[in-house]
Amino acid sequence: MITLTHFLVVSACIFCIGLYTVLSKKNAIMILVGIELMINAAILNFVAFGKYDKVSYGGQIFALFAIVLAAAAVAVGLALVLNVYRHYKTINPDEINELKDK
Amino acid sequence: METTLFYAFATLAIGSALLLVNLKNIARALFLFFIVLFAMAGLYLFALADFVAITQIMVYVGGVLILMLFAFMLSNKELLKDLQDSSGSFLSMPRWQAVILAVGFLVLMIFGIAEWHQSIPTWIQQAKENNTEIIPTDNNIQQIGLRFMTFYVLPFEVISVFLMMALIGASHLSRKERNR
Q: Quick one: average pLDDT of B3-31?
A: 90
On whether residue A98 sits in a domain, the answer given is no
On whether residue A95 sits in a domain, the answer given is no
Residues 96-115 of B with CB under 8 A from A: 97-99, 101-103, 105-106, 109-110, 113
pLDDT band at B162 (very low <50, low <70, confident <90, very high): very high
**CA B55 vs CA A68, B98, B145, B172: distances in Å:** 9, 32, 14, 26
What is the domain range of residue A77? Answer: 4-88
Predicted-complex ipTM score: 0.87
Look at residue B33 in the predicted model and tell me its pLDDT. 92
Q: Quick one: average pLDDT of A56-80?
A: 90
Rounded Cα distance, A37 and A31, in Å: 10
* CATH at A74: 1.10.287.3510
On whether residue A102 sits in a domain, the answer given is no
**Tell me: the pLDDT tens digits for A15-48?**
999 999 998 888 888 899 999 999 999 999 999 9
On whether residue A94 sits in a domain, the answer given is no
For residue B159, give the nearest of A27, A68, A85 by CB distance.
Answer: A68
For residue B113, give the nearest of A12, A24, A52 by CB distance.
Answer: A12
pLDDT band at A81 (very low <50, low <70, confident <90, very high): confident
On whether residue A25 sits in a domain, the answer given is yes
Query: Any residues with CB less than 8 A from the CB of B127 and at least 6 apart, and which?
Result: A52, A53, A54, B133
**Closest-CA residue in chain B for A63?**
B52
Residue B134, φ and ψ in degrees, nearest 5: -75, 130
On whether residue A23 sits in a domain, the answer given is yes
For residue A10, give the nearest of B3, B13, B152 by CB distance.
Answer: B13
pLDDT band at B63 (very low <50, low <70, confident <90, very high): confident
Q: Total domain count for chain A?
A: 1
Q: What is the pTM of this model?
A: 0.87
Q: Quick one: average pLDDT of B31-51?
A: 91
Look at residue A101 in the predicted model and tell me its pLDDT. 67
